[in-house]
Amino acid sequence: MKIYRFVVVLSLFFLSCEQKTKVEKEVEEIPVDIKVERFDKVFFETKPEDLAKVKRQYPFFFPAGNDDNIWLKKMQDPLWKEVYTEVQKKYANFEPVRQEFNKLFQHVKYYFPKSKTPKVITVIGEMDYTSKAIYADSLVIVALELYLGKEHKFYQFPNYLKQNFEEKQIMPDVVSSFAYRNIPAFADKNLISQMIFEGKQLYAKDLLLPEYSDADKIGYTPEQIKWSQENEAYMWRFIIENEMLYSDDPKLTTRFIAPAPFSKFYLEIDNDSPGRICAWLGWQIVRSYMKNNTNVTLPELLKINAKEIFEQSKYKPKK
């Protein structure tokens, strides 16, 4: 009997690998050639007297009403020039990143055939960590000053933010922006709705970035992923026993969904827990739903309401 079970499990494993290979082979056949424009280079290597040419070429980066002196000052400011120099040290050759964009948008085209292939434009912004990469229909804008490596001298941010200022986070950040644009806003503000909302965008990374680790997809360290897996059942029990799941208390968002150095159970485990732990739990719920509803496509998943996903997920945390 044990031998029979082993053979069945082994057969299912190879069937899964074969199916995955089939999908990836189809993805690889999709023609995608991402064009990259280095606006950061254009801007900082343009002579002040040629600013008007840059404004005509990239009007969306120059809002009406701003005096040209603002841009001229930025062009010549030693601090901004230093930032540009550091970006160039890291990204003088952008081709490896462009190839990653090609792979990503082959997957996007596979799962979202009607989607446009965007142009990628690199910029140097104001170090706004909430807008590192923006997917805007026909454009993807990447703020390269926020992908110089977590130990870079420029970064005066807490560690939980800096750990994601790495090149490998560019694609996960782009997918987050893409997914959020395609997930309808939820009417319910309870915790489970927020968990499923976050879980959807993380599940999108499972399909659009299949070669990336779970740690890279959510922005955790490998140790934080391990902690989450080991404490999954305990955390779920805590949420259920404290009747948080259907609560719309806004404090729960701060405690368990928003970026933070740790999640706030107000227990001894807090210092070991990663922030956004309910986003991670929501991810596991969505994974469970998709495992039990294999006929649902990714675009369909993003539009299904949280209640239906949760109830049909048959989610049981691993003990």
Let me know if residue 11 belongs to a domain: no
Let me know if residue 318 belongs to a domain: no
Residues 52 and 156 in one domain: yes
If one counts the domains in the chain, the total is 2
CA-CA distance, 209 to 171, in Å (whole number)? 8
Report the candidate in 182, 207, 218 with the shortest Cα–Cα distance to residue 108: 207
Using one digit for the tens of pLDDT, what is the confidence trace for 135-158? Answer: 988 999 999 999 999 999 999 999
Using one digit for the tens of pLDDT, what is the confidence trace for 31-61? Answer: 999 999 999 999 999 999 999 999 999 999 9
Residues 43 and 135 in one domain: yes
Residues 127 and 87 in one domain: yes
**Residues 36 and 118 sit within 8 Å (Cβ to Cβ):** no
Let me know if residue 257 belongs to a domain: yes
Which residues span the domain enclosing 92? 36-180
* Residue finishing a domain among 119, 145, 180: 180
Residues 236 and 264 in one domain: yes
User: What pLDDT does residue 241 have?
Assistant: 96
Q: Is 135 left (phi over 0), alpha (psi -120 to 50) or beta?
A: beta
Residues 198 and 115 in one domain: no
CA 279 to chain centre: 12
**Residues 218 and 175 sit within 8 Å (Cβ to Cβ):** no
Q: What is the pTM of this model?
A: 0.91
Structural tokens at position 281: 């739990």
User: What pLDDT does residue 20 have?
Assistant: 64
C-alpha distances out from residue 209 to 172, 191, 212, 214, Å: 8, 27, 6, 10
